[in-house]
Chains A and B, each alone.
Chain A
Amino acid sequence: MKIIRLAAIAGAVLALGLATADAQAQMRKVKVATEGAYAPWNFVNSQGKLEGFELDLGAELCKRAKLDCEFVAQDWDGIMPSLLAKKYDAIMAGMNITPKRMETINFTTAYAAGPHGLLILKSSALAKLPAGEYNLTKDLAEAEKAIAAITPQLKGKIIGVQGSTTNLAWAEKYFKGVAEIREYKTTEQHDLDLAAGRIDAAVVAHSAAQATMETATGKDMTMAPPSFSGGMLGLGVAVGIRKEDNDLKNAFDAAVKAAIADGTIKTLSIKWFKVDMTPKS
């Protein structure tokens, strides 16, 4: 079927091109990169299509900012270098604002924020930890006390985490030397290894873990009760943009603020995450 469509494409592109050339003349073309392996933020479905919260939100933001956007998939480890190399103009890939990343690129206002924690098997002793929400920005001392309570439980265990993430930085800061830390290219891979029992815990965002727990693989998984946010775990998920590209930053900033104000982000968030991930200012 796709082959037939391929044959038809040449003519169609021509016709479309003529019809829409005028309308698009004023719209800036923007390429947006996403990972495509971080459900439900962004992932590839069985039709090979990109899908997820950020795809929906991206379309919404671009409509508001009057941008002609196109999403492309890019592996996580190359997502910042390729932005700098101008392969695309923006990143929407569940990427958190951090001071370290701010040295290299710029971020818009955050469009989502949520806690992070340890994804574990239900049978794990960590499941019995006292619950609590800790913010590393607001009350670091309190948060570190909670982390200290987890540390002895992780002694000699294996923690999986995706490379080049805030989760990895956090795990390395608090659990290095206590537990073995293994780096994975994608979160999907450490989910598989957690299910298989190769690792004892994975440091993840609650939002992504939710999607894992709904699959057959994740049915025996749960989040350890204490959750953490802010500080080195990131100041919210935002659109990443090159430093010199201020026009685009302003356009996205305005669009994000508008989408937060009129509840669009809340609606999309509940659709994909089942909870409201709108950042609290």
Chain B
Amino acid sequence: MQAKSFLELMQWGPQGWLDEMMFATGLTLAVAIVGFLFGLLFGTLAAIAKLSGSRLAKRLADAYTTVFRGVPDLLVIYLFYFGGSAVVTAIGQFFGAQGFIGLPGFLIGTLAIGIVSGAYQSEVIRGAYLAVPPGEVEAARAFGMSGRALLWRIIGPQVLRYGLPGMGNIWQLVLKESALVAVVGLSVYLYEVRLGDLVLIYETRFSDLLRQAHVAAGSTRQPFVFYITAVAFYLVLTTASTWCFRRAETWATRGMRRV
């Protein structure tokens, strides 16, 4: 068998791998976005716990931050991958459910990323909250604002404004961390549907970008081509998102006085 050229390997369609690599990039982006949102959720909860008066809540949140910022992400992914389904099944059985409760690979991967990035996120959110000038909150109170209005109209927007640069950093972190799910393999499947002679959809394995590069490298035994392509696609993702965050920062700080 003759080794194929770069262009042959990177064709679009059943002969080449370009279509698979593009879909994989899409899945990587999806993993990163969902993982980031999970992180935002966990991070916000932890930040609330840290800022709340409760000593116990603060301790728990601090422990969460220390553990998940100090332990390698890969180890956390292994924990979720090998232990995740067992836990969910056990919890399900406790409540009377039967059999395996599938935690799809996608959920396992994004939850693991969410837990890790949430640990970083909680510090960013806490810092941003503390940066909100107390005078503004007092002023709002003086105007009779309270509770939800205060949160939505005064604190929320400013936390977003002060936290955005930090969140941008975490987004970059999450985007790169999403590559780790390749180690345990996270795939989304679509199956072939046939109506007589008409094939409506291929059974297609959507993997994340690095995993796809891995599979293609294994199948064609041409690792360099696929890993360098993965590098290029990641650079596109990180560059594009840097630009997006910069726009978002401009938008979030539009009302700020510049010195």
Contacts and interface: CB of A to CB of B under 8 A. Distances in A.
A73 B195 CA distance: 25
A9 B201 contact: yes
A267 interface: no
Nearest to B202: A47
Nearest to B19: A2
Contacts of A75: 184-185
B233 interface: no
Interface in B182-203: 184-185, 187, 189-191, 193, 195, 199-203
A86 B99 contact: yes
B218 A15 contact: no
* Size category, B interface: 35 or more
B241 interface: no
A189 B221 CA distance: 9
Contact of A12 (B17, B99, B195, B206): B195
B89 interface: yes
Contact of B204 (A2, A8, A13, A81): A2
B205 interface: yes
B189 A72 contact: yes
A164 interface: no
Contacts of B191: 70
Most buried by B among A8, A12, A46, A191: A46
B5 interface: no
Given A12-B200, A44-B215, A44-B219, A86 B100 contact: yes
Interface in A74-89: 74-75, 78, 81-82, 85-87
A16 B193 CA distance: 8
Given A6-B190, A192-B223, A87 B85 contact: yes
Nearest to A188: B218
Nearest to A5: B201
Contacts of B221: 188, 191-192, 195, 215-218
B240 interface: no
A177 interface: no
A207 to B, nearest CB: 17
Given A16-B195, A72-B189, A85-B100, A78 B218 contact: no
B1 interface: yes
B205 A85 contact: no
Contact of B201 (A2, A192, A215): A2
Contacts of B100: 85-87
Nearest to A189: B218
Contacts of A47: 14, 202, 204
Contacts of A46: 14-17, 20, 216, 219-220
Contacts of A45: 219
A49 B204 CA distance: 6
A2 B203 CA distance: 10
A91 to B, nearest CB: 15
Contacts of A8: 200-201
A82 B218 CA distance: 23
B152 interface: no
Contact of B2 (A12, A13, A216): A216
Interface string B97-109: 0011010000000
A46 B221 CA distance: 12
B210 to A, nearest CB: 13
A82 B85 contact: yes
A49 B191 CA distance: 10
Given A16-B193, A82-B85, A85-B85, A49 B202 contact: yes
B88 to A, nearest CB: 9
Given A9-B201, A73-B185, A81-B82, A43 B219 contact: yes
A264 interface: no
B184 A78 contact: yes
A118 interface: no
Contact of A87 (B15, B102, B201): B102
Contacts of B23: 2
Interface of A: 2, 5-6, 8-9, 12-13, 15-16, 36-37, 39, 43-50, 70, 72-75, 78, 81-82, 85-87, 186, 188-189, 191-192, 195, 214-218
5 contacts: A46-B20, A50-B205, A75-B185, A215-B1, A217-B221
Given A78-B184, A85-B100, 10 more contacts: A2-B23, A43-B219, A46-B219, A47-B202, A50-B203, A73-B205, A188-B221, A192-B217, A192-B221, A215-B1
